[in-house]
């Protein structure tokens, strides 16, 4: 699973953030590593240096093999809080989406069930 971190100019320490994000997401999303091809993390300070609450934003997008990407956003007072909030949302979104996909693949079709229950006509 590849992790790509993008920041705006007001976020410092990009290299350290990339290493930290890779480690965090690697642990949190370990069970999805075969379904995820890439996770893009976008960190930004929406007020660009001005004081304000919940002005740090983290958008995460998980690219899944053979499926639509899943994106979540979280706002918080600090970068780490915004990251962890988005990380939790992404994990829950992946849980529900991949569980739904797995259940639909495991289920027999209605048409097949109807063929099995109908009496022979001959």
Taking only the tens place, the pLDDT of each residue in 40-60 is: 999 998 876 666 677 899 999
In a domain, 117, yes or no: no
Note the pTM of the prediction, 2 decimals.
0.77
Closest to 40 (Cα-Cα) out of 103, 92, 109, 90? 90
What percent helix, strand, coil does the chain show, rounded to 5?
Answer: 45, 25, 30
Identify whether 118 is part of a domain: no
Q: Is residue 122 part of a domain?
A: no
Q: What's the domain count of the chain?
A: 1
Neighbours of 21 (CB within 10 A): 20
Q: What is the CATH number of the domain that holds 49?
A: 3.30.160.100
Range of the domain at 42: 2-112
User: Does the structure show a pLDDT above 70 at 116?
Assistant: no
Query: Do 18 and 5 contact (CB within 8 A), yes or no?
Result: yes
């Amino acid at each position: 699973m590849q992790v790509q971190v993008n920041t705006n100019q007001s976020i410092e320490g990009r290299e350290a953030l990339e290493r930290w994000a890779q480690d965090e997401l690697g642990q949190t999303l370990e069970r999805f590593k075969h379904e995820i091809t890439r996770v893009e993390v976008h960190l930004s300070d929406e007020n660009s240096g001005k004081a304000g609450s919940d002005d740090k934003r983290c958008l995460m997008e998980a690219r899944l093999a053979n499926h639509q990407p899943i994106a979540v956003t979280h706002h918080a007072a600090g970068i780490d809080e915004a990251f962890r909030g988005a990380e939790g949302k992404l994990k829950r979104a992946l849980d529900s989406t991949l569980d739904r996909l797995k259940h639909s693949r495991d289920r027999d079709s209605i048409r097949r069930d109807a063929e099995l229950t109908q009496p022979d006509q001959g």
